Amino acid sequence: MIMNSSMTTSLVQAEAETGSHQFQILGYSLIKGIGIGKCIYSDVFSISGYEWVIQFYPDGYDAENKDFISFFLRLKCNVTDVDVKAKYVFTILQQNGVPSNISCTSLVRIFKSASGTCFESWGFTQFEKRSEFEASECLKDDAFTVRCTISVVTKLQTTTPCSVTVPPSNLNQHLVRLLESENGADVTFVVKGESFKAHRCVLAARSSVFRAELFGCMKEKWTDTITIHDIEAPIFKSMLCFIYSDSLPGLI
C-alpha cells in the first residue's frame, strides 16, 4: 500500500539594531600605569534603548593579562530583570579614521543589568599586546580612538509551522514511459532479429556491466547498434523493464 508522507517546516528570524560609539583617549602615557585591573570609562551612550559604557584597562584586566590592553563593554544598570542579547566589535581607528586591523569581534553575549547568572559586562582581556599596540601607527601624539559597534537582538520571531504533503514516488512509472516512448533513445540492441531502443545514461546508472560496455574501453562505446547473442528477445525485454522500473512487466 502506497501512503503519502508529510513534512513540516518552521522558521526563526532574528532582528537586530546596530549602533556605534567612538571613544577617544588623549594623553595615553599619563593614563598608562594606573594599575592592573583599573579602568577608565567612556561617556554613557545609548543603543537600542539601552545605556552602555566602554571600559579601557591600559595595564590589563588582571595580573594574568598584564602585558595586554583590555576593552570591555558594560550594560548600565538602568533596567531590571531583562536579559539583553548583543554582539560587539572593538576596533582601533587609524589616525585618518579608517578602521585598522587591530580589532576583535565577540559572539552573541547575554548582558543582565540586574543580579543573576549573566554578566553585565563582557570584553577582551587580551585585546592587543601592549608593546605591539604602542608600536603601531594608531597611537600618535599620545592619543588614539577606539570604535565599539554593538548589534542588539531586538526580536526573535517564529513563523507558524506549515505542513507539506509529499506525494508517493512514481519515478519508475516515468522511466518505463520513457523506455516505451523511445524519446531520446541513443542506443539500439538487436536480439534475435528484434530491436530494442534504450538510453545509455539509464543503463549505465543501473548496471555496472552496461556502464563498462557503453562508457568504458569496449568497442560498443563507439556504436549506436549493439547485437546481443545468447539471450531470447522476451527475456531481454523483461530485463530492460526491470532496469528502468525495478519491477518485472505486469507488476508495475
213 located within any domain: yes
Determine the number of helices (DSSP H) and then strands (DSSP E) in the chain.
6, 15
**What are the grid coordinates assigned to 30, written together?**
599619563
The number of domains in the chain is 2
Question: Treating both helix axes as pointing N-terminal to C-terminal, what angle do 233-245 and 171-181 enclose, rounded to 10 degrees?
Answer: 140
Specify whether 55 is located in the same domain as 22: yes
Beta strands at 225-228 and 187-191: parallel, antiparallel or unpaired: parallel
What DSSP assignment string belongs to 124-162? EEEEEEHHHHHHSTTSBTTEEEEEEEEEEEEEEEEPPPE
| Judgement on whether residues 115 and 62 belong to the same structural domain of the protein | yes
> Is the domain of 140 the same as that of 182?
no
**DSSP three-state, residue 208:** helix
Same domain, 130 and 64: yes
77 lies in the same domain as 150: yes
Query: 134 and 200: one domain?
Result: no
Task: Specify the pLDDT at position 119.
Answer: 63
DSSP-derived letter for residue 222 is G
Alpha helices in the chain (DSSP H): 28-31, 130-135, 171-181, 200-206, 208-215, 233-245
Boundary-marking domain end, from 132, 158, 184: 158
153 & 173 share domain = no
Pair 67, 137 in one domain: yes
What 3-state class would DSSP assign to 26?
strand
Domain shared by 108 and 150, yes or no: yes
Query: What's residue 9's pLDDT?
Result: 73
Q: Please indicate, yes or no, if residue 118 is contained in any of the structural domains.
A: yes
Full residue range of the structural domain in which residue 124 is found = 12-158
Whether residue 76 sits in one domain with residue 31: yes
Question: Looking at this protein, which amino acid is placed at residue 246?
Answer: D
Inter-residue contact 128 to 102 (CB < 8 Å): yes
For residues 101 and 222, membership in a common domain is answered with no
Shared-domain flag, residues 173 and 154: no
Do the domain assignments include residue 164? no
Convert 180-209 to b/e letters by CB count within 10 Å (16 or more is b). eeeeebebebebeeeebbbbbebbbebeee
By DSSP bridging, strand 109-112 and strand 83-93 are: antiparallel
Domain of residue 35, CATH code: 2.60.210.10
Asked if the structure places residue 92 within a domain, the reply is: yes
Per-residue pLDDT for the chain (252 aa), expressed as one digit of tens each?
445 566 677 777 778 899 999 999 999 999 999 999 999 999 999 999 899 999 999 999 999 999 999 999 999 865 556 788 999 999 999 999 999 999 999 999 988 765 554 568 999 999 999 999 999 999 999 999 999 999 998 876 666 666 666 777 888 889 989 999 999 999 999 999 999 999 999 999 999 888 888 888 766 667 889 998 889 999 999 999 999 988 887 655
